Chains A and B, each alone.
Chain A
Amino acid sequence: MSRPGDVTGAGARRAGGEAVREGVRQLGPIVAALLVGAIILAILGRNPLAFYSDLFRAGLVSSNGWQAMLTRLAPLLLISMGYIVAFRAGLWNIGGDGQFLLAAAFVAGLSPAVMGALPRAGGLIVLGLVGFVVGGAWTLLSSYLRAWFGVNEIITTVMMSFIGINLANLLIKGPWRSAETTVPQTDPVPLKELLPHLGGTTIHVGIVLAAAAVIVVWYVLDHTSAGIRLTVLGANPRAALHAGLKVRRLIMTTFFFSGAFIGLAAAVEILGVWGYMRADWNPKFGLALFALVFLARLRPGAIVPLAAFYAILEIGGHEAARKASLDYDFVIFLIGLILLFMAVSLYFRLPAEQRAGHLKRVGARLHSRRAP
């Protein structure tokens, strides 16, 4: 990146240095957190080096590892898109768990019938749509109350989430309960009849769908009129009204798509990994992804490496913990540490004036006494 006339190459060297510094800034917090984790591991009498090497081998390096990681990545990316779409518009969809599990229940419950009646591709598309629609539909009550009556959507989506989780369990224990097992679950459909894998790997095509979703969301948010409308709504709801945006419609559509992406993630997970759904199952993707989405500053591109890293931790973490005869809980603790350090590092990267609440609006404050 040397500028014309840069005889000594100083510009290129500076740019190189800048890249190194940027890399340090990104990786720094992670390394710091892993160091603290290593200390704890040592206190617990485990070998930190062995643990981490197991983790990264199982999560990334080994042939099983990176395939499992990419498989895990698919629903994570879709859920992230669901969050990003809503949060960009300033809408707090906290009901991800309920939307996910309810959609999963519908997909799992209906899959024997659908796959029996339709050819494979058609059946998968229908089931994908089921997940999409159920996830989206579950947001409608919350978004209606918010759009028409201004009711706080944090409360309503959380409420609907709990209701959705329990409803999903009821469905699995009730109408869709498999007669063949003692533990309540839906009738399984063999995985080889469901989502196909990418040539020769164990990665199902869900990852392609997820990648497509990321590209679509990025494009829509940054390059289309729909995306601008969302951004305006999130940045300044009063300006949205002033600008003539149909705010109520925007709220409901945005919420719908947010839930729909999450429902799609559920469909992908059921159709790609399980083939059935057990009652009282809750993979709880939601929480850490939430934080990661904010760390990514709500940008679709930025969430991809973060989600991938999270997937590595999850997949590799299970294996490494098992080998170190620790519970997976240790990995959860580690993830929390990483988030903490990342928050700190993000703070130090802001210029001094902006070192205030992340959600503070950039720009002139409403009652700024600016006239000098």
Chain B
Amino acid sequence: MSELLSATFLSALISGAILAGMPLLFASLGETLGEQSGVLGIGQEGYMLIGAYAGFNGALYGHSPWVGLLCGVVGGLAIASLVAFMSVRRGLDQIVVGIAVILVAEGLTSVLHAVQFGASYPRLQEMRSLPIPLLSKIPVVGGAVLSQPLIFWVGIALVFVIRWILRSTWWGLSIRAAGEKPEALDAAGVDVTNTRTWAVLFSGALAGLGGAYLSVVAAGIFVPYMTNGLGFIAIVVAMLARGRTGWVFGGAFIFGLCLSLATALQVVGIDIPTDVVYMLPFLAVMAALIVFARRAYLPAALCRPYRRGER
């Protein structure tokens, strides 16, 4: 058991957690904005996939991971604008449109990848990490956390930025009003549809960034369907966090931890079936819900009906 506490293990665990959790963090932060404005981002999985594919191509042909990440943002933005136009502005059925977007994204990226690269899976160069001088020498934590590429710090910064947006800016106030009571926002003279549109666009951009991180930074390749349900988990994390970005960070980190636990355990030679490991985050959430539900800590806000694009 002492292997569990070894530097190798913890190091592998934490770096793995970051790699796995960062895409989730970006997507969940984006989804938080969307949900706070009253729109459920069912198509998140699709935004992430498009972002992953666009990001991969951008990094490959642009010879730079940053170009890739930017392309990811643009890709996510593009597809989210489609959804914003259809669902938010025109009031098309959110669920059908969201699912359609996911299927289109899955199918399109897979086909394009096959057409572009056939059966090969070109690899990208690893993104350069930025070890923080001195601090990165700290055992375990230094290597894993404090020698991350810049994009990691962007993600951490975003946690605070989004929090600031929601609490201290005019836009954030309108977003929250749009989600809590759109009639009040309307009566106050602010366009509810515009507010929600911007929120959805932002969430698409962030989800695209998350997808790009997945393909460019974490995996270094693009594999069809590589998001593997991450978009749905982002929706759930955002729902549980209910606008508290600290919780979003925690949720993303916990999921990332569990996802990386499997590989990390293999590194030290412990063989727990991956299926058990994959179950862990979900079991944890269920346990928390059971415990807190019985003590009625969780207010009925968790089943607060979402105003799906209606005014």
How far is it, in angstroms, between the C-alpha of A162 and the C-alpha of B273 when the chains are bound?
A: 15
A117 within 8 A of B: no
- Our pick among B91, B100, B303 for the contact of A336 (Cβ within 8 Å) is B100
B302 touches A327 (CB 8 A): no
User: Would you give the shortest CB distance from A364 to chain B, in whole angstroms?
Assistant: 14
A339 within 8 A of B: yes
- Our pick among B96, B286, B296, B303 for the contact of A163 (Cβ within 8 Å) is B286
Q: Residues of A contacting B97 with CB < 8 Å? A: 339-340, 343
Whether A357 touches B96, Cβ cut-off 8 Å, given contacts A327-B111, A327-B114, A329-B111, is no
Q: Residues of B contacting A355 with CB < 8 Å? A: 90-91
User: Which A residue's beta carbon lies closest to that of B300?
Assistant: A150
Interface string of A152-192 (1 = CB under 8 A from B): 11111011101100110110010000000000000000000
A371 within 8 A of B: no
Q: Residues of A contacting B290 with CB < 8 Å? A: 145
Whether A333 touches B309, Cβ cut-off 8 Å, given contacts A155-B289, A347-B90, is no
Report B220-244 residues with CB < 8 Å from chain A CB: 224, 229, 232, 236, 239-240
A160 touches B286 (CB 8 A): yes
B94 touches A357 (CB 8 A): yes
B86 touches A344 (CB 8 A): yes
A331 within 8 A of B: yes
Q: Which of the 9-residue segments A5-13, A65-73, A206-214, A284-292 touches chain B?
A: A284-292
How far is it, in angstroms, between the C-alpha of A158 and the C-alpha of B309 when the chains are bound?
A: 23
A294 touches B95 (CB 8 A): yes
A155 touches B100 (CB 8 A): no
How many of chain A's residues have a CB under 8 angstroms from any CB in B?
A: 54
Interface string of B271-311 (1 = CB under 8 A from A): 00101101100110110011001101010101100011111
User: Would you give the shortest CB distance from B267 to chain A, in whole angstroms?
Assistant: 21
User: Which B residue's beta carbon lies closest to that of A153?
Assistant: B303
User: Which B residue's beta carbon lies closest to that of A159?
Assistant: B282
Q: Residues of A contacting B99 with CB < 8 Å? A: 287-288, 290-291, 336, 339
Whether A44 touches B302, Cβ cut-off 8 Å, given contacts A162-B278, A342-B96, is no
A126 within 8 A of B: no
How far is it, in angstroms, between the C-alpha of A152 and the C-alpha of B96 when the chains are bound?
A: 21
A334 within 8 A of B: yes
Q: Residues of B contacting A323 with CB < 8 Å? A: none
A356 touches B289 (CB 8 A): no
A295 within 8 A of B: yes
Whether A340 touches B100, Cβ cut-off 8 Å, given contacts A170-B276, A327-B111, A330-B111, is yes
Q: Residues of B contacting A358 with CB < 8 Å? A: 91-96, 308
B114 touches A326 (CB 8 A): yes
Whether A360 touches B310, Cβ cut-off 8 Å, given contacts A159-B236, A162-B282, A343-B86, is yes
Q: Which of A148, A294, A335, A358 has the most CB of B within 10 A?
A: A358
- Our pick among A154, A163, A288, A367 for the contact of B282 (Cβ within 8 Å) is A163
How far is it, in angstroms, between the C-alpha of A154 and the C-alpha of B31 when the chains are bound?
A: 15
B108 within 8 A of A: yes
Report B236-260 residues with CB < 8 Å from chain A CB: 236, 239-240
B224 touches A155 (CB 8 A): no
How far is it, in angstroms, between the C-alpha of A58 and the C-alpha of B177 when the chains are bound?
A: 53
A337 within 8 A of B: yes
How many of chain B's residues have a CB under 8 angstroms from any CB in A?
A: 53
- Our pick among B101, B229, B286, B310 for the contact of A357 (Cβ within 8 Å) is B310
Q: Residues of A contacting B311 with CB < 8 Å? A: 356
User: Would you call the interface of chain B mostly helix, strand, loop, or mixed?
Assistant: helix
B110 within 8 A of A: yes
B104 within 8 A of A: yes
Whether A336 touches B103, Cβ cut-off 8 Å, given contacts A158-B236, A357-B91, is yes
User: Would you give the shortest CB distance from A88 to chain B, in whole angstroms?
Assistant: 15
Whether A329 touches B282, Cβ cut-off 8 Å, given contacts A150-B300, A155-B236, A295-B96, is no
How far is it, in angstroms, between the C-alpha of A152 and the C-alpha of B275 when the chains are bound?
A: 25
- Our pick among B105, B107, B239, B296 for the contact of A154 (Cβ within 8 Å) is B239
A50 within 8 A of B: no
How far is it, in angstroms, between the C-alpha of A290 and the C-alpha of B99 when the chains are bound?
A: 8
User: Which B residue's beta carbon lies closest to that of A289?
Assistant: B99
User: Which A residue's beta carbon lies closest to that of B293?
Assistant: A149
Report A324-372 residues with CB < 8 Å from chain B CB: 326-327, 329-337, 339-340, 342-344, 346-347, 355-360, 367
User: Would you give the shortest CB distance from B247 to chain A, in whole angstroms?
Assistant: 13
B217 within 8 A of A: no
Interface residue ranges, A against B (CB under 8 Å): 44, 141, 145-146, 148-156, 158-160, 162-163, 166-167, 169-170, 173, 287-288, 290-291, 294-295, 326-327, 329-337, 339-340, 342-344, 346-347, 355-360, 367
Interface residue ranges, B against A (CB under 8 Å): 86, 90-97, 99-108, 110-111, 114-115, 183, 224, 229, 232, 236, 239-240, 273, 275-276, 278-279, 282-283, 285-286, 289-290, 293-294, 296, 298, 300, 302-303, 307-311
9 A-B pairs closest in CB distance: A333-B107, A336-B103, A329-B110, A336-B104, A332-B107, A339-B100, A149-B293, A358-B93, A291-B99
Q: Add 20 more A-B contacts to A166-B276, A327-B111, A329-B106 (CB < 8 A).
A: A141-B286, A146-B303, A150-B302, A151-B302, A155-B240, A167-B279, A173-B273, A287-B99, A288-B103, A291-B95, A332-B103, A333-B103, A340-B86, A340-B100, A342-B96, A343-B86, A344-B92, A346-B92, A356-B311, A358-B93
